[in-house]
């Protein structure tokens, strides 16, 4: 039974794209201020229990059917005091607010200050609650209600969406809402990326859980403002150096009014901002700025996705990668496939795995399916298109009579000794190198030569797939 793996563990691979940040910036610094106060779990909000997440009370548990005065007043601090400290410190910088819609509704003065500062206000959902067990139709309704309430409170619909305490349905539902320029419920990268859904694509601008003041509220995290400053500074310094070396990234920083708004933590943030602003080539941006830049510089391009082909199409396209052995492609398709197999390296690795897992007779059959180099099939023009191109690349289609006689002599001796044709990835060699290898390997014992031939089959597959998926 076929299995399709939903997660993309490859991403951009070894060589991510150059984001080409404005002004050739070495790094894009993106600050998020989460505004959740007034949107958290509370009996007064119609919930079954009090809030227990991201507060000063380590190990807090919900109080079923009861209000929790300390918990509520911690959240109140974020709105009454912490927000204004953050506003004074950040009002001259581009900032994205993740605003819970019901929290924004209860904070008109803070919303006015956000708008006055020119901050982007993205939606943080309708409520600051855990959506992991919420049915998708209810979560979809909450997203729609959040967008509408956000529009009523701020004057315009949100262009970005971060649920935060999300479900496995959140990204899909965000795509299907249809009006978001980016989604941020991902921690998968340091650059934006396109998420394909239902024949189209949605831009993802990933967020962070590490450069985030939420770690002040966890058992393993930041204990002091110095811890926070050191971590932010070290993260920035490494990313800045990578950007200077030609690989710019995005650095996201997550703040909460009730956490980073406390004086000892706010001082650490101020020290960090001073550090960043002492460097040239830093682009401070909102998440919407980054999304729009990425969409303009790196628009979504549909590409060949082997993992999404039907079986007949996949075997038709890749059944000849291993010479006259379509069963390898068939077994690849029948097994687990995912985004990692949509690259030449990934698909070659899986095909090699299937070949190596096959029985001895099957592997020997693959070897024997290969033609002699510059042999009778080549002269009769009966090679596969791949073999014809490969042999031509090394000049084996233009041999002198003496060269052809020598190839035939060594080919015949090799088959007589080992029981299968001489196999080599000819694209890795020239004509002289191929002949030298033939003479050397002719004298190997058959066990050694069998192993060598099988690895050359794998190498030929790699080279063919690099061409097919270029």
What positions carry a catalytic annotation? 370
Two structure tokens written together for 90: 């950040």
Q: Look at the block and give the residue holding tokens 């067990």.
A: 133
Question: What DSSP string describes 6-41?
Answer: ---S-TTTTSPPP---GGG-SEEEEEEEEE-TTSB-
Spell out the SS3 assignment of 174-198: HHHHCCCCEECCCCCCCCCEEEEEC
Tokens standing for residue 86: 């953050």
Residue 17 has φ and ψ, to the nearest 5°, of: -70, 155
What is the CB neighbour count within 10 angstroms for residue 409? Answer: 11
CA-to-CA separations, 410 to 365, 400, 441, in angstroms, rounded: 21, 16, 10
Cα–Cα distance, 175 to 439 (Å, whole number): 60
Q: Are 370 and 421 in contact (CB under 8 A)?
A: yes
- Among candidate residues 171, 214, 216, 169, the one with its CA nearest the CA of residue 194: 171
Whether the CB-CB separation of 3 and 337 falls below 8 Å is answered with yes
Measured between alpha carbons, how far is residue 404 from residues 395, 397, 398, 431 in Å? Answer: 11, 10, 9, 11
Residue 305 neighbours by CB under 8 Å, 6+ apart: 196, 339, 342
Torsion angles phi and psi, residue 146, rounded to 5: -65, -45
Residue 402 contacts residue 440 (beta carbons within 8 Å): no
Task: Please name the residue that has the structure tokens 């687990």.
Answer: 336
Helical spans, DSSP H, in 322-445: 326-334, 344-357, 360-369, 376-379, 385-393, 401-418, 431-442
DSSP SS3 for 366: helix
* Most distant pair of Cα atoms in the chain: their distance: 95
Q: Which two tokens stand for residue 199?
A: 């024949």
Is 464:347 a contact under the CB 8 Å cutoff? no
CA–CA dist 292, 49 (Å, integer): 40
The Cα–Cα gap between 220 and 164 comes to 20
């Amino acid at each position: 039974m076929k299995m399709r793996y939903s997660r993309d563990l490859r991403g951009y691979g070894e060589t991510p794209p150059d984001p080409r940040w404005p002004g050739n910036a070495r790094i894009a610094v993106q600050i998020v201020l989460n505004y959740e106060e007034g949107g958290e779990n509370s009996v007064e909000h119609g919930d079954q229990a009090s809030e227990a997440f991201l507060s000063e009370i380590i190990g807090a548990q919900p109080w079923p059917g009861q209000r929790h005065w300390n918990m509520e007043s911690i959240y109140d601090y974020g709105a009454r005091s912490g927000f204004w400290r953050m506003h004074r410190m950040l009002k001259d910088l581009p900032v994205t607010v993740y605003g819970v819609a019901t929290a924004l509704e209860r904070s008109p003065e803070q919303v006015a200050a956000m708008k006055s500062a020119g901050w982007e206000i993205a939606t943080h959902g309708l409520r600051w609650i855990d959506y992991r067990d919420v049915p998708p139709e209810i979560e979809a309704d909450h997203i729609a209600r959040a967008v509408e309430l956000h529009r009523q409170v701020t004057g315009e619909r949100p262009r970005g969406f971060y649920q935060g305490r999300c479900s496995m349905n959140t990204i899909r539902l965000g795509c299907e809402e249809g009006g978001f320029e980016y989604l941020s419920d991902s921690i998968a990268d340091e650059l934006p990326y396109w998420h394909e859904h239902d024949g189209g694509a949605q831009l993802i601008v990933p967020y962070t859980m590490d450069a985030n003041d939420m770690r002040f509220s966890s058992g393993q995290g930041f204990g002091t403002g110095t811890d926070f400053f050191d971590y932010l500074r070290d993260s920035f310094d490494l990313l800045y150096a990578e950007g200077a070396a030609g690989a710019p990234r995005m650095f996201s920083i997550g703040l909460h009014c009730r956490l980073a708004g406390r004086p000892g933590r706010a001082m650490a943030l101020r020290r960090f901002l001073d550090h960043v602003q002492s460097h040239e080539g830093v682009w401070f941006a909102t998440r919407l700025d980054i999304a729009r830049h990425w969409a303009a510089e790196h628009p979504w391009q549909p590409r060949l996705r082997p993992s999404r082909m039907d079986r007949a199409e996949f075997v038709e396209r890749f059944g000849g990668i291993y010479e006259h052995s379509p069963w390898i492609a068939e077994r690849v398709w029948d097994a687990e496939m995912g985004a990692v197999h949509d690259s030449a390296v990934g698909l070659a690795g899986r095909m090699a795995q299937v070949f190596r897992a096959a029985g001895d007779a099957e592997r020997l059959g693959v070897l024997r399916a290969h033609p002699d180099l510059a042999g009778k099939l080549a002269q009769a023009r009966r090679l596969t298109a791949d073999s014809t191109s490969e042999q031509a690349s090394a000049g084996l289609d233009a041999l002198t009579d003496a060269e052809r006689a020598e190839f035939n002599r060594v080919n015949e001796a090799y088959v007589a000794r080992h029981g299968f044709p001489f196999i080599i990835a000819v694209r890795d060699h020239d004509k002289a190198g191929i002949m030298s290898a033939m003479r050397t390997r002719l004298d190997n014992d058959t066990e050694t030569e069998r192993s060598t031939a099988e690895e050359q089959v794998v190498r030929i597959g790699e080279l063919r797939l690099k061409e097919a998926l270029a």
